[in-house]
Chain A
């Protein structure tokens, strides 16, 4: 476990995840107070990534539950393995016959069978899904519930119960208590507002696009061969592009893809005709590519006018 906020920064740093003091504070509190963390923010700022690196930094297993519309308990928690139960009954036919031999009446036979109920409804035939796996795992694990906003209200209500008591009731077996309370990370793209009850149980973390300095750091860390000048120009251009009215704002992961492409092509700075052709790594829509390309031209024109770019603004500790 993390011992302090700085410990979180360095711990996640070893996993090549750069986080600011705010993110680190929330992670530290979440892991220490054992409260779930609800992470919100635009797509591609590293919400899911946070769950993954948290697991690897703490050396825990990552159990991931991807939410979608119509996800229900059966898919998320547990199911009975009917086929396996049936197979066992087939194999045990003779044994069952023996057991029932002494029974004089049908009633007695049914009673005898009923006494054996526990055999067929036991852990042996329980197929644990992510939530149950996280509860029953022998070591503490990180449970990543991804895109919780995609799930329905019923599922959210059901999740509430689990997140507050960390136990579930399986009617045929009884209550299963968590051996270790997992660290829970929920991510949401805010396609719908989560219920207040869920939010009350969670710590809240809003991750926004990083400032220029921080994004530079991220690029240099993730794309080792990148030149300083290219990284700087890309970040500066991106911060302008993100202000445009786009269908899909380029996220950090797309930025990294683009920089990787540029580095592969051995591009050292943005005034290179290859740059325009690689924009499709950054943008997903034709209209967006056009807009970005226009912005790139404007940027290069301004750069020519100034000649000799000055470095970007100072890095503040806040993303907000």
Chain B
């Protein structure tokens, strides 16, 4: 069983669930207590030891069903089918099996393990034998006998032909013993069906194995690459995984920040206050008074271009800003294409995915127009400029492609002089700034910082600028 658990943990890992060695050990210990008889408890025990994030529960359930119930289910289904074929009640079927088992005991020693498991309907053994063969097959690495199909190779491994002849012999023996008619008929048919089932099972097992391999091949390679991938090449799958990356980035940032803020908070020794405070103790300085520096939580305004050309980068930034909201006194978020709209309220009321999708969907502004930075800036200046003060960091995300409209860079100049800082992150390569309708050469000099930001790793590098 332990090797099965290890294997299962590996499958989980390959599907993006982080399972550590100590968690594996916990799973073993849990199963020692719980046992493996009751499937519900077995599942719960594995879930609680291996899965630590609510988001991983779904993949766990799928993989668990697939991994632990796979072949067992198939065997169950076959049993049910045979019962129907023969028109027996479960009880009659059980009786027949017992009879067969009795005969088998008399023949003890002449039969291979597989034949015994097959004929006596011993599911556990049957499953184990099939799995063992499968594992050997996997380890042998297919180098031998590539002329044969996997099915043929497996049949060879399991010595199916031997099992076949054993079953025939068993049938002969039964006839010699002279059972009465109808029962014998049934048993004969049962044996034939069983043999046929064996091949079916083998096929099923091979298919499952291939599916499992398929699952294992998935996405481990991409996971590492995501950080370096340019936003514009994101696939659907990448977008789903973005959440994870954002969360990690935000957490890292918060850790660094909280250390920085702690240090800043520890002020210098204040003699006057200390003396006054400790008069009650006869002037013995028990309570040290330090100058607390005021914690200034800065404010952020973020302006996201959500035209198609930079959609992924904007999505990422919106998610990122959402995740670090609590670092700031106030976060105001705006989205624009040619008009600009505020999405702050969305961010306050909904959870991250709902909020970001709603912001991008065009509930707030018309997203199907052509980019017009100049117009958006002008609108921003008219409606929101008064909200900027010397504590505000203004962050603009966009490619600066203005469709040859009026650039209105004066707005940026005004923001720059009023705000604490003005940062422009451009998801386009610096090489293309100023080519075509890109207004970056006009916009960039009017910002404190203008940086290329095309991937998560680049964001890592500049993230320090954004935070207090």
What is the CA–CA distance of A205 and B48 in the complex, to the nearest angstrom?
A: 6
Residues of B within 8 A of A38 (CB): 52
Q: Given contacts A153-B254, A154-B258, are A204 and B40 in contact (CB under 8 A)?
A: no
Are the C-beta atoms of B57 and A320 separated by less than 8 Å?
yes
Of A21, A86, A193, A199, which is within 8 A of B40 by CB?
A: A21
Interface with A: B28-36, B118-126, B231-239, B404-412, which one?
B28-36
- With both beta carbons as reference points, the residue of chain A lying nearest to B349 in the complex is identified as A247
Most buried by A among B41, B258, B287: B41
CB distance from B261 to the nearest CB of A (A): 10
Give the complex CA separation of A35 and B20 in angstroms. Answer: 16
Chain A residues numbered 11-43 whose CB sits less than 8 Å from any CB in chain B: 21-22, 25-26, 28-29, 32-33, 35, 37-38, 40-41
Please pick, from B26, B45, B254, the residue contacting A25 in the complex, using a CB distance under 8 A: B45
Is A152 at the interface (CB under 8 A from chain B)?
yes
Cβ–Cβ < 8 Å partners of A5 in chain B? 34, 41
B261 nearest CB neighbor, chain A only = A152
A120 to B26, CA, bound (A): 43
Contacts of B258 in A (CB 8 A): 152-154
- Among residues of B, the one whose C-beta sits closest to the C-beta of A191 is B326
- Are B44 and A21 in contact (CB-based, < 8 A)? yes
Pair A199/B286 contact, Cβ less than 8 Å: no
CA distance A317 to B43 in the complex (A): 12
| CB pair B54 A153 closer than 8 Å | no
Q: A190, B49: Cβ atoms under 8 Å? A: no
Q: Is the CB–CB distance between A193 and B41 below 8 Å?
A: no
Which of chain A's residues has its CB closest to B248's CB?
A193
Chain A: CB-nearest residue to B255: A153
Contacts of B40 in A (CB 8 A): 21-22, 25, 317
Q: Which A residues are in CB contact (< 8 Å) with B30?
A: 29, 33
Docked-complex contact A203 and B26, CB < 8 angstroms: yes
Complex interface: chain B residues within 8 A of A286 (CB): none
Q: Give Cα distance in the complex from A142 to B239, angstroms.
A: 42
Cβ contact of A82, chosen from B33, B61, B287, cutoff 8 A: B287
Binary contact readout B215-257 vs A (1 if CB under 8 angstroms, 0 otherwise) = 0000000000000000000000000000000010001001100
B281 at the interface (CB under 8 A from A): yes
Determine the distance from Cα of A82 to Cα of B254 in the docked complex, in whole angstroms: 34
Task: Let me know if B41 and A199 touch, CB within 8 A.
Answer: no
B386 interface residue (CB < 8 Å to A): no
Q: Closest approach, in angstroms, between the C-beta of A52 and any C-beta of chain B?
A: 20
A200 on the interface (CB 8 Å rule)? yes
B349 touches A203 (CB 8 A): no
Find out whether the CB atom of B18 lies under 8 angstroms from the CB atom of A203: no
Asked if B284 lies at the interface with its beta carbon under 8 angstroms from chain A, I say yes
Q: Which of A50-66 contact B (CB under 8 A)?
A: none
Residues of A within 8 A of B54 (CB): 40-41, 190, 206
A202 interface residue per 8 A CB criterion: yes
Tier of interface size on chain B? 20 to 34
Task: Report Cα–Cα, A28/B41, bound state, in Å.
Answer: 11
Q: Does A196 contact B (CB under 8 A)?
A: yes
Partner of B33, one of A21, A33, A86: A33
B3 contacts partner chain A, Cβ-Cβ < 8 Å: no
The distance from the CB of A284 to the nearest CB of chain B, in whole angstroms, is: 14
> What separation, in Å, do the CA atoms of A170 and B52 have in the docked complex?
32
Neighbouring B residues of A206 by C-beta, 8 Å: 54, 57
Mask: chain A, 70-109; 1 = CB below 8 Å from B; 0 = not: 0000000000001000100000000000000000000000
Report A-chain residues with C-beta under 8 Å of the C-beta of B281.
82, 86
Given contacts A153-B255, A204-B51, contact A29 B33 (CB under 8 A): yes
CA distance in complex: A203, B46 (Å): 10
B53 CB–A CB distance under 8 Å: yes
Please state if B57 and A199 are interface contacts (CB–CB under 8 Å).
no
Judge whether A26 and B18 touch: CB under 8 Å.
no
Q: How far is the CA of A317 from the CA of B41 in the complex (A)?
A: 11
Partner of A200, one of B23, B29, B48, B287: B23
Residues in A neighbouring B26, C-beta threshold 8 A: 33, 35, 203
Collect the chain B residues with CB atoms within 8 Å of residue A32's CB: 33
Q: Is B140 in the interface zone, CB < 8 Å from A?
A: no
**Which residues of chain B are near A25, meaning CB under 8 Å?**
34, 40-41, 44-45, 48
> Can you list 17 pairs linking A and B with CB atoms under 8 Å apart?
A5-B34, A25-B41, A29-B45, A33-B26, A33-B33, A37-B48, A86-B281, A86-B284, A153-B251, A153-B255, A192-B251, A193-B247, A196-B52, A199-B53, A203-B48, A204-B53, A206-B54
> B residues within 8 Å of A by Cβ?
18, 20, 22-23, 26, 29-30, 33-34, 40-41, 44-45, 47-49, 51-54, 57, 61, 247, 251, 254-255, 258-259, 262, 281, 284, 286-287, 349
Interface set of A (CB-CB < 8 Å, partner B): 5, 21-22, 25-26, 28-29, 32-33, 35, 37-38, 40-41, 82, 86, 152-154, 190, 192-193, 195-196, 199-200, 202-206, 247, 317, 320
9 additional contacts, CB 8 Å, given A37-B48, A153-B255, A195-B251?
Answer: A25-B34, A32-B33, A82-B281, A199-B53, A200-B52, A203-B26, A204-B48, A206-B54, A320-B57
Considering the complex of A and B, which 3 residue pairs feature the smallest CB-CB distances, nearest first? A25-B44, A199-B52, A22-B44
